[in-house]
Amino acid sequence: MGEAARTRAELPQAERKRRAILDAVLRVVAEGGVDAVTHRRVAAEAEVPLGSTTYYFASREDLLREAFRQHAGAVYGSLDALADELPLRSADDLVGFLVELVRRELAEPAGIVVEYELIVRAARDLELAREVNAYERNLTARLAESLERLGVAHALEAARTLIALVRGFELERLTRPSVELADLRRRLRVVVGALTPSRRSA
């Protein structure tokens, strides 16, 4: 083994502890917002000693940044899973895909709160903004690729439009849980209809 693996199976365990801490951060953010992320609270939530949070992460900012990265990874995972389940063959598939994606996110609202909580914070934290940007670019690129395969013109711009629409919906729902997915579906149908030239409304 190289120099990195100092003791028998040490690094894997350290990595597991790191993950546990980051998961705890995400749970705390979902429950109490970014403000609630304190070393003590996170350590208690992750059931690790107080010193661990400062030992594994340089600062509170570092903690939040890495936690967002972890969240992003989880989102990529569910995106891939959904893409396997619902292949995109037409514009109608696209609407269904996006609605189902949001439906799953809403089933576990922690992720949504985390995402917006950290996006807003990123407006004041340059490093976090970098992380968020990478995430956004990734999402946009994935969607744009699908759109291109569907023959949508200006795929990148169209992807941004759709994401903005979904974001606006989720934001709306954050404070008004009565908004239904059917509303999102209707909006998406209108916009997707306008984006795909082959489809007629009447």
Query: Does position 33 bind its own copies by CB under 8 A?
Result: yes
Give the separation between CA 38 and CA 91, rounded to whole angstroms.
Answer: 45
C-beta of 130: minimal distance to DNA in Å? Answer: 20
Task: Determine contact, residues 73/157, Cβ cutoff 8 Å.
Answer: no
60 binds, among its own copies, DNA, none (CB under 5 to 8 A by kind): DNA
Instruction: Considering the complex, state which of residue 8 and residue 200 has its C-beta at the smaller distance from DNA.
Output: 8
Among residues 20, 23, 32, 142, the one that binds its own copies under rule CB under 8 A: 32
Q: Given the complex with its own copies, which of 18 and 187 has the nearer CB atom?
A: 187
Instruction: For the chain, report the end-to-end CA distance as a whole number of angstroms.
Output: 67
Residue with tokens 């199976």: 9
φ, ψ (nearest 5 deg) of residue 185 = -60, -45
Q: Which of 11, 44, 50, 123 binds its own copies (CB under 8 A)?
A: 123
Min dist. Cβ of residue 21 to its own copies (A): 21
CA proximity to 167, closest of 107, 102, 111: 102
3-state SS string for 59-127: CHHHHHHHHHHHHHHHHHHHHHHHHHHCCCCCHHHHHHHHHHHHHHHHHCHHHHHHHHHHHHHHCCCHH
106 near its own copies, judged by CB under 8 A: no
Q: Which of residues 129-158 bind its own copies (CB under 8 A)?
A: 129, 132-133, 136, 157
> From CA 103, how far away is CA 10, in angstroms rounded?
40
Q: How far is the CB of 124 from DNA (least distance, A)?
A: 16
Site for its own copies in 58-97 (CB under 8 A): none
Residues at the contact surface with its own copies, assessed by CB under 8 A:
32-35, 113, 116-117, 119-124, 129, 132-133, 136, 157, 160-161, 163-169, 171-172, 174-176, 183, 186-187, 190-191, 193-195, 201
